[in-house]
Chains A and B, each alone.
Chain A
């Protein structure tokens, strides 16, 4: 019984692993990219959510870029060069955003140490 179970798991894992390694790339869509861009003239809406002229023209540009075979990152880069960092919802890790990305993780490590102290050392 246990052996069968084990075999089953191995089979499933190998199938999935194979898919992950050799599976098709996720298709790039206007929907996916426009969700990660801010509509600059709106109150806190993404390009995807907005129906403003600005958002609609950005969607058309994204569509063209995809047809030109640009990668996801190239498209984000195009928009940041044009409009600045404000337009992308996923801030790049650089000297200005290092605290943003690292602070929670440092806090997490610090919290872990506190718990270890509380539990193992007195």
Chain B
């Protein structure tokens, strides 16, 4: 109880500091002293400290299972392992918002320390805008989602955490995603400040690129962790379903990736200023509206766990206010910044980056319309439609072909004006080799989709070109690595999609079934009693065509608080494929539904995304040196 009170008041104190910071910043805008003293430093630090204090108290309440705290009562249970008591702190709405606040206040503090070489007023304005966002979230937290609500009489036991959230990947997935989302708020505030200060120039580009890069790395990893979790925990062997909640995390990523490319143009050529501002504002808007859509419960999704319409309205109003603010500032100050920009020569790196943005915006629009259109249609006409994987595949796959082609040749063009001297036979040769390989693969395996074959061909082309460029040292290593990782990713996903096989049957203990890929034997079931769940571990033996034996032991968990059944797949990962086995209880007691899948190149998908994130890291390290 004491802790809850301290946590609560600490947040109110943080809110007050926000107001002081805004007033102080505005006052300092007009004076001539160009040095920002210790005052702001201490204010930002104390604000960060108030949130840290709250967070620590909440975590502590979870650890000691203090059920007088409503959040703890709703989301924890005394028999839960310590690790999940801690991660359960942000596994719920209130706690995750507190984590969000933690990252918000941490980032603006870091921004202040790391922006010493930037103009004074630009820094003050960034802090002001960021504090407006922080105030919004403080109010949201205190008014609609207070994590420190007090319960009396104190319940003896908590309601427990949804078991499928009790997972290591999911313990770190939200923090990473939040680091990404909150990073985009810094980019947002900073670009508005730069716009007002007529400061959108090369120096600003160099400075903000570090933020763009780090945000991008966190978002990339955050999305990957969520995907890995879905792969092994949701029990169907898929890693991406174009589910609305997955889409809303991908949209800011795409927008940010476009920004990451365009900021280089500003850095080198000092053009495309308006467009960069639009991208910065959009990335943040998409991050925020993602939170809104997920939290409001409007979306029908596998990932919907906690939602409340009242909260949705708050975020929506707050988001609209911020966007409106951004638009007003944009139109008031835009003209000052943008003088007539120089013409771009058609064969140049600038043009290719513009084309990259063109495709990125197309992909973004596909996902945006696919996610939102069914909602609008239902409101307007009461007709429900579903937009799923086939829609996205049809609209995205064809555009990947020219996209990957340009990804291969684009980086080798020169800035300003590329002289096209002679035909590069090496490139043509690589394209031919790529075409032949993919046609061979398709033919040997009886893939009848001409179109997929072409996509594979261009995936290989990009793969070869980037691989070749690695050996020519004059190029930017992080850029090469990123494009290489992307081709690697696309190829892995395509092969995984095409060559996955599966076998499914209802079996009872002692059954032995022959199927296309070998023989599966259901040997026995063992029952274990764990602290907060009972588990049934199945023992299966699978003999493949080459007579190799493997044993797989999938599990069914029966949780006591709340009482939920989950299936834990057993996955044997090897370099070329994953063997994935999951089983489920059927109504007929003796039988179990068994699903066995061979999923090629799963590991490569994760490796390629890690490589992508690494490329960002390499670039980031080069920037801070």
Interface residues of A (CB under 8 A from B): 5, 8-9, 12-13, 15-16, 19-20, 23-26, 31, 35-36, 38, 42-46, 48-51, 53, 84-91, 96-97, 99-101, 103-105, 107-108, 111-112, 115, 118-120, 122
Nearest-neighbour CB distance to chain B for A32, whole angstroms, equals 11
Complex CA–CA separation, A13 to B292 (angstroms): 51
Which residues of the other chain, B, contact A100 by a CB distance below 8 angstroms? 369-370, 373, 387, 391
Which among A43, A108, A115 is the interface contact of B304 at CB below 8 angstroms?
A43
Output the nearest chain B residue to A43 by Cβ-Cβ distance. B302
The answer to whether A46 touches B369 (Cβ under 8 A) is no
Pick the contact of B584: A15, A51, A85 (CB < 8 A): A51
Complexed CA–CA distance, A42 and B365 (Å)? 27
Whether B366 contacts A104 by the Cβ 8 Å rule is yes
The 8 Å CB contact of A115, one of B299, B355, B432, is: B355
B365 near A16 (CB under 8 angstroms)? no
**Complex contact A104–B369 (CB within 8 A):** yes
Q: For residue B300, which residues in chain A have a CB less than 8 angstroms away from its CB?
A: 43-44
The one of B234, B358, B394 that contacts A112, using a Cβ cutoff of 8 Å: B358
B362 at the interface (CB under 8 A from A): yes
Extra A-B contacts (15), CB below 8 Å, given A16-B439, A100-B369:
A5-B432, A12-B439, A19-B448, A43-B302, A44-B300, A85-B386, A87-B386, A88-B386, A91-B386, A103-B365, A111-B362, A115-B351, A115-B354, A115-B358, A119-B343
Nearest residue, chain A, Cβ from B347:
A119
* Contact indicator B388/A45 (Cβ below 8 Å): no
Neighbouring B residues of A53 by C-beta, 8 Å: 587
B301 touching A89 by the CB < 8 A rule?
A: no
Chain B, residues 379-391, CB within 8 Å of chain A (1/0): the string is: 0010111111111
Q: How far does the Cβ of B440 sit from chain A's closest Cβ, in whole Å?
A: 7
Give Cα distance in the complex from A122 to B436, angstroms.
43
Q: Of B303, B391, B432, B593, which contacts A91 at CB under 8 A?
A: B391
Cβ–Cβ contact B387 & A89, under 8 A: yes
Q: A51-B593, A103-B369, A119-B346 are in contact. Are A108 and B362 (CB under 8 A)?
A: yes
- Contact B236 A38, beta carbon cutoff 8 Å: no
Q: How far is the CB of A25 from chain B (nearest CB, A)?
A: 8
CB-CB < 8 A to B354: which residues of A?
115, 118-119
> A89 is contacted by which of B302, B345, B391, B435 (Cβ under 8 Å)?
B391
- The 8 Å CB contact of B395, one of A19, A49, A104, A118, is A104
* Chain A residues within 8 Å of B388, by CB: 36, 38, 46, 89-90
The answer to whether B386 touches A38, judged by C-beta atoms less than 8 angstroms apart, is yes
Contact partner, A104, options B241, B301, B362, B381, Cβ 8 Å: B362
Given contacts A8-B436, A96-B381, contact A91 B387 (CB under 8 A): yes
- Contact call A12/B436, Cβ cutoff below 8 A: yes
Which residues of chain A come closer than 8 Å to B584, judged between CB atoms?
Answer: 51
Could you tell me if B389 and A96 are in contact, using CB atoms closer than 8 angstroms? no
CA distance A44 to B453 in the complex (A): 30
In angstroms, Cα B344 to Cα A115, docked, is: 10
- Tell whether B361 is near chain A: CB-to-CB under 8 Å: yes
Name the B residues within 8 Å of A119 (CB-CB). Answer: 343-346, 351, 354
Complex Cα gap A25–B446 (Å): 10
Q: Does B477 contact A (CB under 8 A)?
A: no
Q: What CA separation (Å) do A106 and B241 show in the bound complex?
A: 25
- The answer on a CB contact under 8 Å between B346 and A44 is no
Alpha-carbon distance A35/B301, docked complex (angstroms): 16
Nearest B residue (CB) for A13:
B439
Instruction: Judge whether A122 and B343 touch: CB under 8 Å.
Output: yes
CB distance from B424 to the nearest CB of A (A): 16
User: Are A85 and B383 closer than 8 Å at their CB atoms?
Assistant: yes
The list of the 3 closest CB pairs from A to B, nearest first, reads: A89-B388, A90-B390, A49-B236
The answer, among A19, A44, A111, for a CB contact under 8 Å with B443, is A19
- Kindly state the separation between the CA atoms of A23 and B70 in the bound complex, as whole angstroms: 64
A9, A15, A104, A105: the one within 8 Å of B432 (CB):
A9
CA distance A16 to B448 in the complex (A): 10
CA distance A48 to B391 in the complex (A): 17
User: Please, what's the 1-or-0 string for B573-617, where 1 marks a CB less than 8 Å from any CB in chain A?
Assistant: 000000000001001000001000000000000000000000000
| 24 examples of A-B residue contacts, CB within 8 angstroms | A9-B432, A12-B436, A12-B439, A16-B443, A24-B446, A35-B389, A38-B386, A44-B241, A44-B301, A44-B304, A46-B241, A53-B587, A89-B387, A89-B389, A89-B390, A90-B390, A91-B386, A96-B385, A105-B395, A107-B365, A108-B358, A111-B358, A115-B358, A119-B344
